[in-house]
A and B are shown apart, each in its own frame.
Chain A
Amino acid sequence: MLMSSTAGHAAGNVDAGRKLFGQCAACHAVGKTAGHQFGPMLNGVMERPAASADGYSYSDALKQAAQNGLVWDEPSLDAFLESPMTYVVGTKMAFAGMRDEAQRQDMIAFLQQIDSSGSGATATVEPPAANSLVSESSAPEAQRPLARDTTVPEHGVLHLGRLALPEEVAAWDIDIRPDGLGLPTGSGSVETGGQIYDAQCAVCHGVFGEGAGRWPVLAGGFDTLSDERPEKTIGSYWPYVSTVYDYVRRAMPFGNARSLSDDDVYALTAYLLYLNDQVSEDFTLSTDNFASITLPNVDNFIADDRMEEVHYASREEPCMQDCIPGEATVTQRARVLDVTPDNGDDDNAGGGID
């Protein structure tokens, strides 16, 4: 079943829905090679009973709803997507919901035209009209202003580009520094942070920041940095609290970046400090007290001194002949802890790439 790009029966627009699917892609896959990820694979989800994809382990809540007759059709999916956690109380789909009805319609139209084999998931891309990196330049000559009538800006050396407007700089310049530069005005409490965290973060990072599955651990690990298996968290490793604010604001929640308000980020930062035993449960983080927070590991970072290591500092001509006595003997083999993908063993036996 392949429908034309805008034809789903739902009122929505398939292409718009495809773009919106970026919000779901952190947890769901669609398409010919899609499998279950954190959430179930969504090929052909419309018109199938809830919680019915083979090989996926659903929450009891969704299984129960399915037993009570929940089938994914336009009205039910619309209600679920608007607020998953209120429509199916206890679902493990920790997604805040799509408030905008038009967006939900687009999403449903997109999901509707993906059949169980996954066709319909990817767009058929139309080649750009012009043979240039810049598609705007395809306007026919006649419609363009004459070169001699255009103006050349005065700034700079080559007079290229244009002035950035203050609103534009404000929209993109969201970075925070340890000295507080860039911090927006606002505040947020541990309590509020806990609510947002449970709704939007705990599904991946665990209720206590312990990390679900292989998702990153955010709390704990104190005094483990010189252990055999150190645990690097905000509390045990990160030098500055500004980094927490900056990172959550720019990149989290994974799959829905830039969706949090400044006060939400204050509250989440406060809550992450609380999970790491840095503040008490009645604490409120604000622009005014931000600078008073120091993380325990701040003094344990040193400058790059690799060039002073013996092997580099000596600058010796390397040995060419009879450098090591005796024959080479094997001390370690990859085979012993073979985790190469070819060997079908999926266990993480050793280090990682972080």
Chain B
Amino acid sequence: MADSSDISPVSSARRIALKAGLKLGALAGGAGLVGAGQVSAAATPDPLITEVQDWNRYLGDGVDANPYGKPSVHESDAVRRTVSWLTADNKSSINFTPLHKLDGIITPNGLCFERHHGGVADIAPGDHRLMINGLVETPLVFTMEDLERFPRESHVYFLECAANSGMEWRGAQLNGCQFTHGMVHNVMYTGVKLKHLLAEAGVSPRGKWLLPEGADPSHMTRSIPIDKAMDDCMVVFRMNGEALRPEQGYPLRLVVPGWEGNMWVKWLRRLEIGDQPWHHREETSKYTDLLADGTARRFTWTMDVKSIITNPSPQSPIRHGRGRTVLTGLAWSGHGTVKRVDVSIDGGRNWSTARLDGPTLAKSLHRFYYEFDWDGSELFLQSRAIDEQRQVQPTKDALRAERGVNSIYHNNGIQTWHIRPDGSAENVEVS
């Protein structure tokens, strides 16, 4: 497992140490996990303090060295990662958000996970059109310029792929919250409420369903009930202030708050109104939840209440030894806000309520913290979210008892990380 964020400072320390004629062993930054931070009393003064460092003396880059700024070179492992065997081809594939590298609630644009069905379409905004047709008074075509003349709003919403954690139905499989839970991101979108666009075309009273369609080679389509479309759906062109990233649907995407990510059609080019659902491929062959008896649920749109401890976790072990420890994670619900998150360190025997920090917005990620003194014994970490409708995040076994293990989608079961006495962490299931 590559984790270079703690390697670079050590190697620069090593360089300084050699210059100063010191032995590396005297410095922090040993090989094992525990002990790396045990600096109760330094034997020798820290050269990082006593010596003048390069960055203290020599000038760095000037302004405009990077017209579009990038993360520090020391953060090179805070990147999206894929699991190649999950799909046949990288044009119709996925990668995962590095949740263990992030804090707060907003996902940086370059780290939002990707899921495409025909690669990333490259569309010049001047060439993009949005059409509204079907059961409307006036079928319309909008340019991007037209869309920017509608009243704009900004809202923070999570987007979770319905297949997030889908690999874990049969049991613990992938080692790291990036892989088990990384098909979620949380972004502030700016755009236009769909109801304004639909009002412009005039929806017929017979119009009960909406079909959004993408301009990419998959021409993605999903059926959405008109009530949802009129309620909080948006057509957006900005994420976290800047234009949508190409891989998130530039120049235009649909936002369907709280509902499965597949419905948030990217490269959105058309909205059709109809009186019945279309039963297209992504709502029949895919995104239907097969149950143990061979029947399948369809139109399972809402993403249920869920949470995950992001640190510590397999890709982010405890390196500081026993004592004060910060546990943190994310919680969300497609039904609204998260009211409470409980944390257990003994595999679900006893629970303590965690501290929710930062804005608690409906259908957005919430950040929680739980600070405790670790005595160095093994831990079984779990988190359990409860949303504003008092739905409680279920255990994986409770879900399996109801649904079997072939659902693929909508696995919001409680995750367990096993922390070993050396601070390393592993994806496990416990009884």
Contacts and interface: CB of A to CB of B under 8 A. Distances in A.
A347 B85 CA distance: 7
Interface in B181-205: 183, 196, 199-202
A251 B200 contact: no
A306 interface: yes
Interface stretch (B11-19, B88-96, B354-362): B88-96
A169 to B, nearest CB: 5
A28 B19 CA distance: 50
Interface in A199-250: 204, 213-216, 225-226, 230, 232, 234, 237-240, 242-243, 246-247, 250
Given A173-B272, A351-B408, A304 B298 contact: yes
B131 A230 contact: no
B281 A246 contact: yes
Interface stretch (B30-38, B44-52, B53-61, B146-154): B146-154
Contacts of A258: 219
Interface extent on A, as a size class? Answer: 35 or more
A232 B211 contact: no
Interface residues of B, number: 125
A147 interface: no
A242 B279 contact: yes
Interface string A113-134: 0000000000000000000011
Interface in A309-354: 309-312, 315-316, 318-324, 327-343, 346-354
Interface string A125-160: 000000001111100000000000000000111101
A148 to B, nearest CB: 17
Contact of B213 (A135, A172, A257): A172
A163 B138 contact: yes
Contact of B243 (A133, A161, A312, A354): A133
Contacts of A176: 278
Contacts of A155: 137-138, 140, 200, 202
Contacts of A350: 167, 170-171, 173
A175 interface: yes
Contacts of B183: 353
Contacts of A328: 346-349, 380, 430-431
Nearest to A166: B139
Given A232-B285, A300-B295, A353-B166, A337 B173 contact: yes
Nearest to A135: B126
B279 A178 contact: yes
A172 B141 CA distance: 12
B94 to A, nearest CB: 6
A242 B221 CA distance: 14
B26 interface: no
B279 A240 contact: yes
B269 interface: yes
Interface stretch (B101-109, B226-234, B316-324, B383-391): B383-391
A243 B300 CA distance: 19
A37 interface: yes
B71 interface: no
B118 A243 contact: no
B430 to A, nearest CB: 4
A1 interface: no
Contact of A254 (B92, B304, B350): B92
B306 interface: no
Contacts of B347: 324, 327-328
Interface in A160-188: 160-164, 168-169, 172-179, 181
Contacts of B296: 225, 237, 300-302
B299 A214 contact: no
B174 A304 contact: no
Contact of B88 (A135, A214, A242, A257): A214
B428 A333 contact: yes
Contacts of B384: 318
B375 interface: no
A348 B221 CA distance: 29
B272 A175 contact: yes
Interface in B267-290: 269-270, 272, 274, 276, 278-281, 284-286, 288, 290
18 contacts: A161-B141, A226-B293, A232-B285, A243-B285, A301-B284, A309-B402, A311-B398, A312-B391, A323-B348, A327-B349, A328-B348, A331-B429, A332-B172, A333-B426, A340-B83, A341-B82, A341-B179, A352-B166
Interface of B: 1-2, 81-92, 94, 117-119, 124-126, 131-134, 137-146, 148-150, 161, 163, 166-176, 179, 183, 196, 199-202, 211, 213, 217-219, 221, 237, 243, 251, 269-270, 272, 274, 276, 278-281, 284-286, 288, 290, 292-302, 304, 314, 342, 346-351, 380, 384, 386, 390-392, 394-395, 398-399, 401-403, 405-406, 408, 410, 418, 426-431
Given A309-B402, A352-B408, 4 more contacts: A331-B430, A332-B171, A333-B172, A349-B173
What are the 9 tightest A-B residue pairs by CB atom distance, in nearest-first order?
A328-B347, A226-B294, A225-B294, A156-B200, A334-B427, A214-B88, A164-B139, A311-B394, A250-B219
Interface of A: 22, 25-26, 37-38, 133-137, 155-158, 160-164, 168-169, 172-179, 181, 204, 213-216, 225-226, 230, 232, 234, 237-240, 242-243, 246-247, 250-251, 254-255, 257-258, 300-306, 309-312, 315-316, 318-324, 327-343, 346-354
